[in-house]
Structures are given as structure tokens and as C-alpha cells.
Amino acid sequence: PAQIMFCTLNTHKVDMDKLLGAQIGLEDFIFAHVKGQRKKVEVLKNEDVLGLTITDNGTGCAFIKRIKEGSLMDQIKTVCVGDHIESINGIDVSDCRHYKVAKMLKDLEKGQIFKLELIEPMKAFEMLEPRSQGGSLPEAKISRGRETLRLRTKGPATVEEMPSEAEEKAIKKVDELLETYMGIRDIELAATMVEAGRDKKNPDEFAMALDESLGDFAFPDEFVFDVWGAIGDAKQGRL
């Protein structure tokens, strides 16, 4: 398990749009991407923003989810989407959550050279074709209606109803806000935040709920207010 960097659903490719998140269908295939070749890069930070979006596998293995086109990091072709960030300037971050890694990168001094040690996903199944859609499913199907398997960082997995259409829109919007404010993407975290706001009546109650369950993230007040607004917009059909 320690070798697993991240998992994708129904594809063996390093596809950040197919990452295993908080919920999966009971008939989905899960592909585990394991650690491969290590590489080292030196980067001159001559811009305020690196252009990286970081996420993680829920247990500390932070990896690059997106590289902004035309950004500083986009010019360094040895740095790729899917790479695990193992160390920054010799500081081991292999067990750090994504928000801590993103903050360390953001806080690097402009005009200085910094060093990254990365691990790329092992290349495998390059010639594998998508499974045929022509076959028939067995009669005794596992899934029923819109049920999914809900995965949690703490506690057992449970079979639950899928989020409503409004909640799905809210989760997507909150995930986008995470990238804007913190430089991370995390669908599971976004779903947890939307759940926390489901029965709250005002932003103060919502902020207290986030402090109780997600206090380690130290979300800025402006971000919390925008998340509350996104949840309200989704409920009112404005997203």
C-alpha cells in the first residue's frame, strides 16, 4: 500500500479527471498507480506563481494534479502531471498532506533556485485498450439505483445514495475554490465540506462545523464565506 501514489477509475492512464475520489460506483474498476522512477530538478523561481495544482491520495502522498499551460513549471518538461513531490529543498514532504506541500511551494522566495525530488508513476499497460462495452452484465448486479461506495479517510466504507444534482454542482464549485485559494484539488474534501453545510442555517454555523472537523486546514474566512455561498447557490439552482 505504501507504494500506491493514487488510483484512477476505469482507466490505466494517468488521467486526473478519472481520479478515485470520495465515491465510486459499485461496478467501477480501480487502477492503482505505484511509485516508479525518481528524478531531481532545480528551478529558478522567477515568477510569483509556479502554476502547479497539488492533490493527494488522502494519506499524505501529494502529487501534481495540474500544470497551468504557459506557467513556470510548464516550461520544465521533466516535471509531469501525476508526479509525487517527495522533497522540497531537501525537506522530506512524502508524508505531508497536499495543503502543506502547496503552502511550502507558495512560500518559496522569488528569485531563488529551489530543488524538487519527484517520483513519477510507473509506466505500465501502455498498450492496453479500453474494455469492450459490448459484453453483457451478469444478472445479479451489485449496484442498485444511484448507490455508490463512500470512502472515508477515517472510518469504514459505506454504501450510500449518490449526491443530488445540486450537491454534485456544489462539490465541483468547492473543488474549484480550493484550487483558487489554496492551490489544491480534493474532491473528497469538497464533498466533506458540502456535507458539513447541508443542515447549517448560516455561515457562522458552517464555519464552526468546519473548525470542528477540518480545523487542520486553517481555511481563511473569505474562503469559508465563498464556500457557503457556493453551497447556497447550488441549493437555489443558481450554479
Q: How far apart are CA 173 and CA 115, in angstroms?
A: 33
Q: Are residues 18 and 105 in the same domain?
A: yes
* Residue entry with cell 442555517: 201
Do 168 and 111 share a structural domain?
Answer: no
Indicate whether 167 and 117 sit together in one domain.
no
The count of domains in the chain is: 2
- Summarised one tens digit per residue, pLDDT across range 82-139 is 999 999 999 999 999 999 999 999 999 999 999 999 999 998 665 555 554 444 434 4
Note whether residue 134 is domain-resident. Answer: no
CA nearest to 54, candidates 46, 62, 42: 62
Q: Are residues 19 and 103 in the same domain?
A: yes
Residues 167 and 102 in one domain: no
Confidence of residue 141 (pLDDT cuts 50, 70, 90): very low
Q: What is the mean pLDDT of the chain?
A: 84
177 with 79, same domain?
no
Domain final residue, candidates 104, 121, 138: 121
Residue whose C-alpha cell reads 500500500 in the numeric block: 1
Last residue of a domain, one of 94, 121, 148: 121
Instruction: Write down the pLDDT at residue 1.
Output: 84
Q: Say what the pLDDT of residue 156 is.
A: 67
Of 60, 91, 121, which marks where a domain is finished? Answer: 121
Residues 98 and 177 occupy one common structural domain: no
pLDDT score at 6: 92
Helix, strand, or coil here: 55?
Answer: strand
| Separation CA 177–CA 194 (nearest Å) | 12
Closest CA to 184 of 193, 194, 175, 192: 175
- Is the domain of 106 the same as that of 181? no
Provide the pLDDT confidence category of residue 143 given band limits of 50, 70 and 90. very low
Domain for residue 37, yes or no? yes
Q: Is residue 170 part of a domain?
A: yes
Say if residue 9 is in the same domain as residue 116: yes
Q: Which residues contact 230 (CB under 8 A, 6 or more apart)?
A: 170, 173, 174, 177, 239
**186, 114: one domain:** no
Residues 6+ apart with CB under 8 A from 162: 23, 146, 147, 148, 168
State the average pLDDT over residues 219-232: 93
Q: Are 85 and 34 part of one and the same domain?
A: yes
Q: What percent of the chain clears pLDDT 90, i.e. is strictly above it?
A: 54
Query: Does a structural domain hold residue 155?
Result: no
pLDDT of residue 136: 43
Rounded Cα distance between 232 and 239, Å, is 9
Q: Dump strand ranges (E) for the chain.
A: 4-9, 23-25, 30-44, 52-56, 62-67, 84-88, 91-92, 113-121, 147-150, 158-161
Q: What is the per-residue pLDDT for 137?
A: 39
How far apart, in whole angstroms, are the C-alpha atoms of residue 207 and residue 212? 9
Confidence of residue 166 (pLDDT cuts 50, 70, 90): confident
User: Is residue 183, in this structure, part of any structural domain at all?
Assistant: yes
* Residue-wise pLDDT tens digits, 17-63: 888 876 677 788 999 999 999 999 999 999 988 999 999 887 789 99
Containing structural domain, residue 63:
4-121
The answer to whether residue 136 sits within a structural domain is: no
pLDDT bin (cut points 50, 70, 90) of residue 164 is confident
Is residue 150 situated within a structural domain?
no
Clarify whether residues 116 and 175 are in a common domain.
no
Amino acid at 226: D
A 10 A CB-CB count for 12 gives 16
Q: What is the CATH number of the domain that holds 116?
A: 2.30.42.10
Whether 141 is in a domain gets the answer no
Q: Is the pLDDT higher at 115 or at 167? A: 115
- What is residue 144's predicted lDDT score, i.e. its pLDDT? 41
